[in-house]
Amino acid sequence: MKVKPMLGDWEVPHIAAIRSAERRAFAELPVPGRAGSVFQDLNAGPLRLAIEGSLYGDEARDDFLEEIRGKFRAGEPVTFVADIVTATEVQHVIVEELRFEESGVRPDQIDYFLVLRESPPPPPPPNPLGGLDTGLLDQAGSFLDSVTGALDAIGMLGSVPELKDPTPPLRGALDNVKSAVGGLGGVAAKLGDLFGGN
């Protein structure tokens, strides 16, 4: 079954030819002392599709140019389906290049040439927690819940009195004790003289 070439929801009209170009990238690593080189596979590059065709009449030309130039200016990936991309993983393409040609020999005809380039969707954003064990997150959440519960329980007890330095009221009492004991020094000396003399 033939698949009509569709760029997004728009059928590309009057196609004369479609070509695809697929290329694999390699890095050549020369080995000293050997005649050959070792090649490192850098994976396949993006697939490119070239579509060419012709349009006839002013209305068909104007509709085509408006549609394709809108997709070109947007520069956003659009879906593409056609028989030529069977057995590939191409889903999204961008319009990379546009070429148009008009000739005085065929005044009602416009020839077009489009280049589409594969544009896979970006990968999903990375998980900021990486390989962190989610069980730890659950434990931390339950610990936070218990701390919050304890703070709520303290709040329900009512106002807690502010604890201050308890010594200021005692200082005055100590002054009286010092003055009372201060006079004992003279009494002790007199007693010493009294008993020492015997």
What is this structure's pTM? 0.55
Q: Does 59 reside within a domain?
A: yes
Looking at residue 148, its pLDDT comes to 73
**pLDDT, average across residues 60-66:** 89
Instruction: Kindly state whether residue 85 falls inside one of the protein's structural domains.
Output: yes
Confidence of residue 183 (pLDDT cuts 50, 70, 90): low
| Within-domain flag for 106 | yes
Residue 141 lies in a domain: no
- Report pLDDT for 159: 62
- Does residue 42 contact residue 32 with C-beta atoms inside 8 Å? no
State how far Cα 114 lies from the chain centre: 34
Domain limits for position 13: 6-25+43-118
Q: How many domains does the chain have?
A: 1
Predicted confidence (pLDDT) per residue in 132-161, tens digit: 666 666 777 777 777 676 667 666 666 656
**pLDDT tens string 2-55:** 767 888 888 888 888 888 888 888 888 888 888 888 888 888 888 888 999 999
Q: What is the pLDDT of residue 130?
A: 64
The CATH number given to whatever domain includes residue 90 is 3.30.70
Position 82 in a domain:
yes
**Would you say residue 32 lies in a domain?**
no
Asked whether the beta carbons of 37 and 31 are under 8 A apart, the reply is yes
The pLDDT value given to residue 113 = 94
Q: Where are the alpha helices (DSSP H) in the chain?
A: 58-74, 134-156, 168-182, 184-196
- pLDDT above 70 as % of the chain: 74
What is residue 1's predicted lDDT score, i.e. its pLDDT?
39
Q: State the DSSP code for 13.
A: P
Question: Quick check: is 123 in a domain?
Answer: no
Q: Per the domain annotation, does 135 fall within a domain? A: no
Q: What is the pLDDT of residue 115?
A: 92
Identity of the highest mean pLDDT range in 23-27, 85-89, 127-131: 23-27
Average pLDDT on 71-78 reads 89
Contacts of 172 (CB under 8 A, 6+ apart): none
Give the Cα separation of 82 and 53 in Å (integer).
15
Q: What is the mean pLDDT of residues 169-178?
A: 69
